[in-house]
Amino acid sequence: MIIILLVLFVFSLFIEGSFLFPLLPSAVIPDFLLISTVCIAFLWDEKKGALLGFAVGLIQDILFSPAIGYFALTKMLIGYLAGLMGKAIYREQIIAPVFLTFMFTFFHEGALYFLVERFIGVGFSLRWIVRLLFIPKAFIHLVFALLLYPLFYRAEQKKIASGSHHISS
């Protein structure tokens, strides 16, 4: 699980901050840290999910945000909620974490839109942002969650079978 997390983390930062960014429409660049936070928090619990979300969000804030705390706050809340929902839903199935990733993408992007518009003052039409950013990004995240959740699930099952319940334990 540690190796998967590190590879996804580095890959996500590379995609977000690399030379590839100008080549791709910004609406379709997936946030692998968000996808990973939802999927992993769903497998863990709300406390570890919130901690994971805060950690990856804070690093994202430091590297890419005009202000510290926006990504950390939104990803921490998402990690907490995904972990809470993972306790109530069977983790063996793929539908719930994929659907949660889809829905949390709207929450994440909406919260960031609100924070940036209110505190920095840079705003676009909400209708335009939803149509050109939120919806395409949510569907791309859904596809990647379908691909990534089984990897996270298998890695977590191997950790449990080897005697430790989570990588953070």
Does residue 22 lie within any of the structural domains? no
Does residue 107 lie within any of the structural domains? yes
Instruction: Please tell me the total count of domains within the chain.
Output: 1
State the average pLDDT over residues 74-100.
Answer: 93
Does residue 168 lie within any of the structural domains? no
Residue 150 sits in which domain range?
A: 30-161
Does residue 25 lie within any of the structural domains? no
Whether residue 23 has pLDDT greater than 60: no
pLDDT of residue 4: 65
Does residue 92 lie within any of the structural domains? yes
Whether residue 123 has pLDDT greater than 60: yes
Whether residue 57 has pLDDT greater than 90: yes
Residue 90 burial (C-beta neighbours within 10 Å; 0-12, 13-18, 19+): exposed
Q: What is the mean pLDDT of the chain?
A: 84
State the average pLDDT over residues 52-63.
Answer: 91
- Chain centre distance of CA 158: 23
Asked if 103 and 87 touch (Cβ cutoff 8 Å), the reply is no
Task: Give the DSSP letter string of 53-117.
Answer: HHHHHHHHHHHH-SSTTHHHHHHHHHHHHHHHHHHHS-TT-SHHHHHHHHHHHHHHHHHHHHHII
Whether residue 133 has pLDDT greater than 90: no
Does residue 1 lie within any of the structural domains? no
Does residue 51 lie within any of the structural domains? yes
d(CA 158, CA 142): 25
- Please, what's the b/e burial string for 100-117 (b: 16 or more CB within 10 A of its CB; e: otherwise)? bbbbbbebbbebbbebbe
> Sorting pLDDT into bands at 50, 70 and 90, what band is 169?
very low
